[in-house]
């Protein structure tokens, strides 16, 4: 089957199932082989060398669609199936635009629009993709492995919570303006042994800095959407200039972390289990197999300089 993937999480899942897409989005970068495939989308938004505020301003200035789909290139690839998403209009090509493009092709390919809103939804999508591409056994094996890893984290988290309680937690997927991470992140905080009450029960949403201060997180995880770890460190630096930064319990207790949001948290693929393991290490480092700053996508941030701590990360 010839499959075109228009979002990174689907591309990651397809490769994990042993299916190489014939074309991908411009954001697909994992595994590395995805970078060599024909690119079917583009965007006018430039993340390079821009601050969180700068990217946000550019997004607001876009007139029309944020992402463009190259229908001519898509037609030349003759896909049997297009995999897209309906979860977030600012994350990938809108599902309605994909369906319209599919209807213009001859023969018309099927369209699978993934729409995960919970942690279980995201992991179950591995099965949905597997069924759509005829890779049911591989999908079943992958889902079973994910379930086993999640169960292991649940057990460790239960022991950690019994010893330490649930730390007040804040996970931000943008910093200027602050946006608290939604969808599957609330579930992940709960599973990993944190207090999930700060995270919305739904889509990610803007939040006032005064509300972050009022929640006074004991663990702060900054995982900006589309940013790697070093850019996340810069985003933490932006937060450090705000009033009351040093008064946060997470800062005073040296529990502020900058995370590669592009690889962890932002993409609802099977790799969210990697994210869950990293989150558990941030919330309960004394109970984790390895400290969070020994993971190459997580940086333990110095509360004074808002830079990567000299002793790790």
> What is the structure's pLDDT at 313?
46
For 146-184, what is each residue's pLDDT tens digit? 999 999 999 999 999 999 999 999 999 999 999 999 999
Query: What whole-number distance in Å separates Cα of residue 124 and Cα of residue 16?
Result: 14
CA–CA dist 263, 274 (Å, integer): 9
- DSSP-assigned beta bridge partners for residue 110: 81
Which of 14-23, 186-195, 257-266 has the lowest average pLDDT? 257-266
Give yes or no for residue 257 having a pLDDT over 60.
Answer: yes
27 three-state secondary structure:
coil
Mean pLDDT for the stretch of residues 275-303:
86
pLDDT over threshold 60, residue 298: yes
Q: How far apart are the first and last CA of the chain?
A: 42
- Determine if residue 300 is left, alpha or beta; phi over 0 gives left, psi from -120 to 50 gives alpha, anything else beta: beta
Q: Is 74 within 8 Å of 93 (Cβ atoms)? A: no
Q: Is the pLDDT of residue 280 over 60?
A: yes
Q: How confident is the model at residue 232, as a pLDDT?
A: 93
Distance CA 123, CA 271 (A): 9
At residue 62, the pLDDT reads 47
Q: Work out the pLDDT band at 308, boundaries 50, 70, 90.
A: confident
Average per-residue pLDDT in the chain? 89
What integer pLDDT is reported at residue 278 of this predicted model? Answer: 93
Tens digit of pLDDT for each residue in 72-122?
999 999 999 999 987 655 556 778 889 999 999 999 999 999 999 999 999
Report how far Cα 248 is from the mean position of its chain's Cα atoms. Answer: 25
Phi-psi region for residue 37, left (φ > 0), alpha (ψ -120 to 50) or beta? beta
Residue 311's pLDDT band (boundaries 50, 70, 90)? low
User: For residue 248, which of 183, 198, 311 has the smallest C-alpha distance?
Assistant: 198
At residue 47, the pLDDT reads 53
Q: Please tell me the predicted confidence (pLDDT) of residue 50.
A: 52
**Over residues 250-263, mean pLDDT:** 93
Q: What's the pLDDT at 303?
A: 72
Q: Residue 89: its pLDDT value, please? A: 59
Predicted pLDDT at 160: 97
Specify the pTM: 0.90
DSSP 302: P
Of all residues in the chain, what percent carry a pLDDT higher than 90? Answer: 76
Q: Which residue has the tokens 């996508």?
A: 297
User: Under 8 Å CB-to-CB from 150, ≥6 apart: which residues?
Assistant: 123, 191, 273, 276
As given in the structure block, the two tokens for residue 248 are 């946060």
- pLDDT tens figures, 34-85: 999 999 998 755 555 555 555 544 444 444 446 789 999 999 999 999 999 8
Q: What does the pLDDT read at residue 63?
A: 41
pLDDT given at position 97: 86
Give the span between the Cα atoms of 189 and 186, in whole angstroms: 5
């Amino acid at each position: 089957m010839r499959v075109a993937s228009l979002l990174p999480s689907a591309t990651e899942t397809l490769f994990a199932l042993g299916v190489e897409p014939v074309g991908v989005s411009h954001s697909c970068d994992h595994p590395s082989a995805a970078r060599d495939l024909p690119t079917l989308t583009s965007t006018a938004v430039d993340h390079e060398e821009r601050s969180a505020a700068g990217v946000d301003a550019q997004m607001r200035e876009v007139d029309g669609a944020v992402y463009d789909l190259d229908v001519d290139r898509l037609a030349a690839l003759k896909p049997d199936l297009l995999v897209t998403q309906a979860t977030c209009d600012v994350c990938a090509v809108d599902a309605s635009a994909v369906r319209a493009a599919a209807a213009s092709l001859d023969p018309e390919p099927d369209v699978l629009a993934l729409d995960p809103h919970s942690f279980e939804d995201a992991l179950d999508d591995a099965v949905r993709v597997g069924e759509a591409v005829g890779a049911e056994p591989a999908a079943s094996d992958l889902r079973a492995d994910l379930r086993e890893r999640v169960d292991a984290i649940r057990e460790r988290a239960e022991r950690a919570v019994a010893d330490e309680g649930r730390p007040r937690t804040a996970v931000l997927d943008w910093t200027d303006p602050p946006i608290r991470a939604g969808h599957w992140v609330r579930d992940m905080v709960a599973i990993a042994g944190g207090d999930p009450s700060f995270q919305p029960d739904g889509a990610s949403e803007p939040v006032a800095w005064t509300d972050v201060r009022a929640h006074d997180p004991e663990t702060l995880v900054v995982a900006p959407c589309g940013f790697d770890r070093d850019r996340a460190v810069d985003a933490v630096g932006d937060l450090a200039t705000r009033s009351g930064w040093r008064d946060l319990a997470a800062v005073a207790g040296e529990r502020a972390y900058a995370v590669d949001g592009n690889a962890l948290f932002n993409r609802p693929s099977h790799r969210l289990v990697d994210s869950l393991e990293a989150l558990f290490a941030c919330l309960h480092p004394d109970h984790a197999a390895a400290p969070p700053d020994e993971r190459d996508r997580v940086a333990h941030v110095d509360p004074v300089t808002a830079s990567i701590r000299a002793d790790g990360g």
